Amino acid sequence: MVLAAGCGRNERMNLIYAQRCANCHGPGGRGDGSIAASLPTPPPDFRDTVQRKGNSQIRRVIAEGKGAMPAFDPALRPSEINDMLQMVRYLSREGRDLAWWEKYDTLIAAHCSIPWEAALGLDDAPEKKP
C-alpha cells in the first residue's frame, strides 16, 4: 500500500479529536465515547456512515453541527475543521482489510500528494519565528 506523507493522522489532528470529539464519538470513531450513552441520539460509527458522505457534507456537519452535535465553527479554524474531516475519513477506514485499501492505492496516493489546505484556502497564516 502506498500512502504519501501527510495523509495519515498527525499530532494536531489527534489532539483536536481527543479534546473535541472523542467523548462522544470514541477514540476510534465507533460512537462509543464516554458520554455517548447519555446523549439523546447515539453518535454514528464512522465505519458505517462516512463512506456515503462527501467531504463538503462532513465539513458542514463539523462546522455547523447536527442533532446533538455542536457546531465547531468558529471554535475551530478552517484548517482545523479540515483536519477533523481528514480524521473522520481516517477513522472510517481503520480496521479494513488490505484488499479494500489496495483498490484505492492510486487514488489515495494522488489525493494525498495535493496540498489541500493551500488549494482550498484553508492555510493558517504562517507562524512568525523568533
* Fold topology of 11-119: Cytochrome Bc1 Complex; Chain D, domain 2 (1.10.760)
Average pLDDT taken over every residue of the chain: 79
The pTM score is 0.71
The per-residue pLDDT for 32 is 95
Asked if pLDDT for residue 40 goes beyond 80, the answer is yes
- Per DSSP (E only), the strands in the chain are none
For 76-129, how does the pLDDT look when each residue is reduced to its tens digit (9 = 90+)?
A: 998 899 889 888 988 888 776 656 556 666 666 566 666 666 666 665 554 555
The per-residue pLDDT for 93 is 80
Average pLDDT over residues 14-20: 94
| Amino acid letter, 82 | N
The helix/strand/coil state of 115 is coil
Is the separation of the CB atoms in 24 and 35 below 8 Å? yes
